[in-house]
Amino acid sequence: MLNSYSSLCDDFYHDIYINTNLELLAQRDTILAFFERVQKQFPSMGNFYRREKNDYCLESSRDSGQYRWVAIEKDRIGSGLVNPRLFEDVYSQHKAVLELIPYMLAVSWLDIHSLDVTLGMDFDYSGSHDEVIAEALFGSTAFNCLLDLPGARPVGFSPAAVVALSDDGRTQARISVESRNSIYEPGRKEQPDDEAIGLSFTIRRYPSGTGKFDAVKSFENQCSLAEQLMTEKIIPNFVSPLTNVIAQKRLT
């Protein structure tokens, strides 16, 4: 299934974020020890740097277009792979991070606010992203009536929606499609057309509050659900319309 995802887009990524209730410890020794442990398990990850707002990231080389990364931010830890070859690579890295954070970053199950599993796709297109999104996803909706007005054209179409998937609302799905070259203000210089249209599908799980939150088990369940919904809902209803419109516009 991973190969089929990659064949539908220009870039595919698989990320997780562990969102915490408390701010993470920013001690030098703690941060370095954590990243050294990650690097030992995944030797290709040798590029360590500090980003803005005192976020820290360890990643592998991006030269091949396939790379890994792990990041520590103020109140969350992230792990991701871009264009991974195998799902086994995805699972091994994310599980390693989930297993390390209680011992090396002092993130107990009580501190976990939520866990996000995200499958994302980028679609390269050198024209108006808003026009592609409007045509692909809004053609038969009430929003499309505004485009029938004289001189109307889409300039801000980046839909997003969140739905609860459980009775208690603690399992949620978020789908978003992002235009990256929108023009919002008259006279504003148009952004370069070398960005990609982004699609992001996230399964979020909040702890139940009635027992210990098993992050690894939740991750496995969220991955299974995300992959199922990608196949049954997201690809036929979002991905295919987007790729079809992009292909048609490239021919004209």
* Spans of all domains in the chain: 2-251
pLDDT of residue 188: 56
More confident residue, 77 or 5: 77
Mean of pLDDT values over 82-101: 95
The string of pLDDT tens digits covering residues 9-39 is 999 999 999 999 999 977 899 999 999 999 9
More confident residue, 187 or 180: 180
Percent of all residues in the chain with a pLDDT value above 70, rounded to a whole number: 94
pLDDT of residue 37: 97
Please spell the DSSP secondary structure of the chain, one letter per residue.
-HHHHHHTSSEEEEEEEEEESSPPP--HHHHHHHHHHHHHHSTT--EEEE-GGG-EEEE---TTS-EEEEEE-SSEEEEEEES-S-HHHHHHHHHHHHHHHHHHS---GGGEEEEEEEEEEEEE-SS-HHHHHHHHHSTTSGGGGGGGSTT---S----EEEEE-STTS-EEEEEEEE-SS---STTPPPPPS--EEEEEEEEEE---SSS---HHHHHHHHHHHHHHHIIIIIIIIIIHHHHHHHHHHHH-
pLDDT of residue 94: 98
pTM: 0.92
More confident residue, 249 or 140: 249
Please tell me the CATH code under which domain 2-251 is placed: 3.30.160.110
The string of pLDDT tens digits covering residues 120-136 is 999 999 999 999 999 99
Question: Residue 186: is its pLDDT beyond 60?
Answer: no
pLDDT of residue 190: 53
